[in-house]
Chains A and B, each alone.
Chain A
Amino acid sequence: MGKIQAYNGGGWIATKLEWLINWGRKRSPWPLPFGTACCGIEMMCALAAGYDMARFGAERPSFSPRQADVLIQAGTINLKLAPVFKKIYDQMAEPKCVISMGACASSGGVFRTYATLQGIDKLVPVDIYIPGCPPRPEALLQALLMFIEKTEKSQPITHKKYSDLLVGT
Chain B
Amino acid sequence: MDLKKRVEQCLGPENFVVAMTECQGDLSVEVPKRNILDVMHLLRDTPDLGFNFLSDVFGVDNLDLNKPKKKPKKKEEGEGAEVEEESKEKGPLPPRFEVVYLLLCLERNERLQVKVRVEESDMEVDSLYLIWKASDWPEREAFDMYGIRFKGHPNLKRLLMWDEFSAYPLRKDYPLEGQGEERHLIYDD
Contact = CB atoms under 8 A, between A and B. Distances in A.
Nearest to B179: A114
A157 interface: no
B47 interface: no
A83 B175 contact: no
The A interface is mostly helix, strand or loop, or mixed, namely loop
Interface stretch (B19-27, B77-85, B181-189): B181-189
Interface in B159-178: 160-162, 169, 174-178
A82 B183 contact: yes
A114 B185 contact: no
A80 to B, nearest CB: 5
Interface residue tally on A, bucketed by range: 10 to 19
A80 B184 contact: no
A64 interface: no
Contacts of B181: 79, 114
B182 A113 contact: no
A84 interface: yes
B176 A113 contact: yes
The B interface is mostly helix, strand or loop, or mixed, namely loop
A112 B169 contact: no
A113 B161 CA distance: 13
A17 interface: no
A155 B182 CA distance: 37
Contacts, number: 31
A114 B174 contact: yes
A87 interface: yes
Given A114-B169, A115-B169, A83 B176 contact: no
Nearest to B176: A113
Given A80-B161, A80-B162, A114 B175 contact: yes
Contacts of B169: 114-115
Nearest to A82: B183
A68 to B, nearest CB: 21
Contacts of B175: 114
Interface string A74-106: 000001101110010000000000000000000
A83 B161 contact: no
B64 to A, nearest CB: 18
Contact of A84 (B174, B177, B185): B185
Contacts of B161: 80, 115
A83 B177 contact: no
Nearest to A113: B176
A112 B176 contact: yes
Contacts of B178: 113-115
A83 B184 contact: yes
Contacts of B177: 112-114
Interface in B123-163: 160-162
Interface string A97-135: 000000000000000111100000000000000000000
Given A79-B182, A114-B174, 8 more contacts: A79-B183, A80-B162, A82-B183, A83-B183, A112-B177, A113-B176, A114-B176, A115-B160
Interface of A: 79-80, 82-84, 87, 112-115
27 contacts: A79-B162, A79-B181, A79-B182, A79-B183, A80-B161, A80-B162, A80-B183, A82-B182, A82-B183, A83-B183, A83-B184, A83-B185, A87-B185, A112-B176, A112-B177, A113-B176, A113-B177, A113-B178, A114-B169, A114-B175, A114-B176, A114-B179, A114-B181, A115-B160, A115-B161, A115-B169, A115-B178
